[in-house]
Structure 1
Amino acid sequence: MIDVITLAGGLPRDAELRFTPQGAAVANFTLAASDGRYDQDQNKWVSTRNLYLDVTIWNEPGNKENPTPWAEMAANLKKGDQVAVTGKLITRSWETKEGEKRSKVEFNAYRYYTLPTAPQQQPNQAQQQWSNAAQQGQTATSGAWSQPPAQAGQDQPPF
């Protein structure tokens, strides 16, 4: 089983930097991702499912091949930044004061990459047509999408 994965999303709040009693740096942040679709009635993109995942990234002391202080760099991430993280999922378990057993899935990252952010754009005519067709259950081989366009529109390449 391969236990290294890469996830991408945005930060809903600033990253935090802490230090262990031994002095090791660790950054924590939350990665948020959602599926979205264009809602023509509201004239905007809406989220259909949201995922929030706690991410931990440690410095790698004594690693001669990679002396980069990843945790200290990740601590500079701010709310709204878009990032991709590489690492693995881990389960952390503990017991409450009342004796209840709890567990939580976290992402233990060893690298992160900042992603460019694009300004929010309104969907073009073709995107709106695809969204409408999908909502009506049409596919690329049925409905209006199975027919060639009556005339070239603005969304067609000029050749």
Structure 2
Amino acid sequence: MLNVVALMGRLVADPELRHTPQGLSVTTFTIAVDRSYARPGEQRQADFIDIVCWRGTADFVCKYFQKGSMIAIDGSIQTRTYQDKNGNNRKAFEIVANNVHFAGAKNANGNTGGGYANAQPEYTREAPPAAAPSFAIGNNDDFSVIDDEGEDLPF
């Protein structure tokens, strides 16, 4: 069986870190994912997808991401059932994130999604390489003519 999900979207609210009675870190949040198509004359619609992160992934998300941050997630779909306030059985679908990644470009302040820019290395642009020599067609000064009609060929 295969249960793999890859999503990229924006957080609709700041994630909040919680802990289970056993001390495990957990956070749940929702991302808005734009659909890949739009009807002519209409804006592109978005789907709002619930995400769950555990342990170090939860700590990472709460530290570096906030509302509006672009995030890329890979994980799996999980379903759970519960009873609402009226006693009706309900089913919820959510994505359990295995990995999360920064997906947004740097903003006007030079920061990425949650202040992570300070940990990124800075790169300097190197000088362009020297131009390669050009070899014009018909320039035979570096070559000598071989007489291939000789009798001393080994074959």
TM-score (norm 1): 0.59
Can you list the C-alpha shifts for 1:51-100, whole angstroms capped at 9, x where unaligned?
A: 001100101xxxxxxxxx21111112101110111110111111124321
Q: Mind listing any 5+ residue stretches in structure 1 that lack a counterpart?
A: 60-68, 120-159
The secondary structure found in structure 1 opposite 2:43 is strand
- 3-state SS, counterpart of residue 53 of structure 2: strand
Among 58, 83, 102, the residue aligned to 1:71:
58
Question: What residue number does 1:15 align with?
Answer: 15
Q: Could you tell me how far 1:31 is from its partner in structure 2?
A: 1.1
User: What's the counterpart of residue 45 of structure 2?
Assistant: 49
- Is the aligned partner of 1:80 residue 2:76? no
The count of residues paired between Structure 1 and Structure 2 equals 105
- Contact (CA 8 Å) 2:38, 2:45: kept in 1 or not? no
Q: Is the 8 A contact 1:25 1:58 kept in 2?
A: yes
RMSD value, Cα: 2.3
What is the aligned counterpart of 1:101 among 89, 99, 102?
89
- TM-fit CA distance, 1:118: 6.7
TM-score by length of 2: 0.60
Work out the CA distance in 2 between the residues paired with 1:9 and 1:73.
Answer: 17
CA distance in 1, matches of 2:25, 2:60: 10
Alpha-carbon shift at residue 22 of structure 1 (Å): 0.7
Task: Give deviations 1:113-137, integer Å, cap 9, x for gaps.
Answer: 0112377xxxxxxxxxxxxxxxxxx
Runs ≥4 in structure 1, deviation > 6 angstroms?
A: none
Pair 1:75–1:118, CA change in 2 (3 A): closer
Conserved? CA contact 1:34–1:47, under 8 Å: no
1:25 aligned partner: 25
Residue of structure 2 aligned with 1:116, choices 86, 104, 109? 104
Residue 48 of structure 1 and its aligned partner are, at CA, apart by 2.6
